[in-house]
């Protein structure tokens, strides 16, 4: 974002949140319209920003486990 002139960290966070929320909504809509062929697993908000992120892209091992647990709940509902 710096290259595009967005240098304020609060603005960067707001933009990233908007993008992720929009993408999440799109994924949920795709799943709803898939005639049951796809499942949307809600993971936004699962990770604690202070504990579960290794860096701005990758979760910690414990963070990935939290995400995997959400997927397992949905998988177990279907098998």
Q: What is the mean pLDDT of residues 52-73?
A: 96
As a whole number of angstroms, the distance between CA 19 and CA 70 comes to 22
Q: What is the mean pLDDT of residues 20-40?
A: 97
Please tell me whether residues 33 and 52 are part of one structural domain.
no
b/e burial code for range 12-43 (CB count within 10 A of at least 16 → b): eeeeeeeeeeeeeeeeeeeeeeeeeeeebeee
Is the confidence at residue 28, as pLDDT, over 90? yes
Please tell me whether residues 24 and 48 are part of one structural domain.
no
Please tell me whether residues 55 and 77 are part of one structural domain.
yes
**In the chain, % of residues over pLDDT 70:** 100
Average pLDDT, the chain: 95
Domain that includes residue 31, residue range: 1-37
Q: What is the mean pLDDT of residues 2-22?
A: 93
pLDDT digits (tens, 9 = 90+) for 31-61: 999 999 999 999 999 999 999 999 888 999 9
């Amino acid at each position: 974002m710096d290259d595009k002139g967005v240098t304020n960290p609060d603005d960067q966070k707001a933009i990233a949140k908007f993008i992720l929320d929009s993408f999440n909504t799109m994924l949920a809509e795709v799943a709803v319209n898939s005639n049951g062929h796809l499942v949307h697993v809600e993971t936004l908000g699962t990770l604690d920003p202070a504990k579960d992120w290794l860096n701005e892209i990758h979760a910690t091992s414990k963070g990935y486990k939290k995400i995997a647990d959400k997927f397992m709940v949905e998988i177990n509902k279907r098998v």
